[in-house]
A = this chain, B = another copy of it.
């Protein structure tokens, strides 16, 4: 059984000659389709195709790369899965905005696929990223362009739910909706860090996997109130422009979540 290192040969060997991995030996002989993937990617890297640009029609592209339409479509589909291009029936195929948020999309699937195996490792990285994001958001909370309205909105909505929680039966509490607001808060804080790459990575790592598992354990009484309190402490530190408190608050909050997940396993 080979190491299966040649699954994305075209992508990996793009920037400069043979990369450190899959250098020369190894089986992975590039297929026709792989060449097309690399070719289109290069068109974008070299600037021949800019974000929003429309690609030539399938027939022309197939002729340009000397492949059949079927093979060309496989290549385009691969790039679409990576978030690089987008095909619209009846219209054409376009280069996406290439925003980090789009391009890290595949990472979300990766998290789903092996969360079981490396769950704790993923969470460690997530914590690292979110703590940094909280600190950055606090540092620039008074700077022009800082926008914490999304975080505030999510938190206020969640506060309303938490207040109602005391009055309704636990079974009636909409845990899923509360969890969505939870994720929205974390996402907003990531955006508020001012680093879109950081925000995109957080987005990819934060949601998804945690969602199912948290939904199970979220039925424990008092969790909503506790989460809400921790979130509010973090937001206060951020709006006050206190990076140290924001970092500690976020770290404590995420460690508590990790403890929760560990117990419920």
Contacts and interface: CB of A to CB of B under 8 A. Distances in A.
A233 interface: no
A109 B80 CA distance: 13
B86 A6 contact: yes
Interface of A: 1, 3-8, 11-12, 14-16, 19-20, 27, 33, 37, 41, 44-45, 52, 70, 73-75, 77-86, 88, 94, 96-100, 102-110, 112-114, 117-118, 121-122, 124-125, 128-129, 132, 180, 183-184, 187, 195-198, 201, 207-209, 211-212, 215
B45 A94 contact: no
B4 A94 contact: yes
A5 B6 CA distance: 29
30 contacts: A3-B97, A4-B86, A6-B86, A7-B83, A8-B81, A8-B102, A8-B109, A11-B81, A11-B105, A11-B109, A15-B112, A15-B208, A20-B183, A20-B187, A37-B81, A45-B113, A73-B74, A78-B78, A81-B82, A82-B106, A82-B110, A83-B110, A98-B113, A103-B107, A104-B107, A106-B106, A121-B198, A125-B197, A128-B198, A201-B201
A114 B85 contact: no
B113 A7 contact: no
A113 B86 contact: no
- Interface of chain A: mostly helix, strand, loop or mixed: helix
Contact of A70 (B70, B83, B196, B211): B70
B201 A125 contact: yes
